[in-house]
């Protein structure tokens, strides 16, 4: 499939927003770094916020596809897939371009819960939670929703700790906590 100018703009803007943040990235910076004129940008997006939303949607799709694929590749059983979340995070944290969670950043910069950018960030987390809940149910959890929220909290906490560089191996530490959690929450232990 041929990439359109709009797709190219969203992809490039995603990288710039991820690296620099949303408020710190102005239209002049986007023009300079993408090589796409302001006229062309405004042809596709009426505001910078519309471009941010498009970049967040792309990031959501890319991240969930990557994480779910890695979970399936690294784990055969539902329990192994839940643990594989943290192995995948370890891979992500090791990347030179790792700068944390774009959705945590977006919700911090757009704190009004009614703002579309904050809502888009919350939707990303909801979609992760639903996927984790489904796997927790497949694993036989008595309360799959509760277990999924706890796994998500460990995942999110690991991301924050990895960004802050608090002298820990955030993915490994979260994985150990998840193993303890699963041992008490799933049958057959």
Architecture of domain 5-185: Orthogonal Bundle (1.10)
User: What is the distance between the alpha carbons of residues 54 and 42, in angstroms, rounded to a whole number?
Assistant: 13
**Exposure of 130 in the CB half-sphere (CA atoms within 13 A):** 7
Q: How far apart are the first and last CA of the chain?
A: 48
Residues 6+ apart with CB under 8 A from 111: 118
* Contact yes or no for 74/88 (Cβ under 8 A): yes
- DSSP readout, 123-134? HHHHHHHHHHHH
Distances (CA, A) of 142 to 39, 77, 128, 184, 188: 55, 17, 19, 11, 12
Residues 6+ apart with CB under 8 A from 83: 75, 175, 178, 179, 182
Going by C-alpha positions, the residue among 93, 120, 96 that lies closest to residue 109 is 120
pLDDT (tens, 9 = 90+) of the chain, 189 residues, equals 456 889 999 999 999 999 999 999 999 999 999 988 889 889 999 999 999 999 999 999 999 999 999 999 999 999 999 999 999 999 999 999 999 999 999 999 999 999 999 999 999 999 999 999 999 999 999 999 999 999 999 999 999 999 998 767 999 999 999 999 999 999 875
The reported pLDDT for the residue numbered 9 is 93
User: What is the distance between the alpha carbons of residues 55 and 59, in angstroms, rounded to a whole number?
Assistant: 6
The reported pLDDT for the residue numbered 167 is 63
The reported pLDDT for the residue numbered 131 is 98
């Amino acid at each position: 499939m041929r990439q359109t100018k709009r797709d190219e703009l969203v992809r490039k803007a995603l990288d710039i927003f991820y690296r620099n943040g949303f408020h710190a990235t102005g239209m002049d910076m986007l023009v300079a770094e993408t090589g796409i004129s302001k006229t062309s940008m405004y042809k596709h997006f009426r505001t910078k916020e519309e471009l941010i939303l498009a970049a967040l949607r792309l990031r959501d799709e890319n991240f969930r596809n990557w994480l779910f694929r890695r979970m399936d590749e690294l784990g055969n059983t539902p329990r192994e897939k839940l643990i594989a979340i943290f192995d995948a995070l370890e891979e992500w944290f090791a990347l030179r371009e790792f700068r944390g969670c774009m959705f945590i950043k977006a919700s911090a910069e757009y704190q009004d819960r009614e703002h579309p950018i904050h809502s888009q960030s919350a939707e990303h987390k909801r979609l992760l939670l639903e996927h984790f809940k489904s796997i927790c149910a497949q694993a036989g959890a008595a309360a799959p929703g509760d277990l999924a929220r706890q796994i998500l909290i460990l995942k999110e906490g690991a991301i924050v700790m990895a960004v802050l560089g608090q002298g820990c191996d955030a993915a490994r530490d979260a994985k150990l906590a998840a193993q303890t959690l699963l041992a008490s929450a799933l049958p057959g232990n």
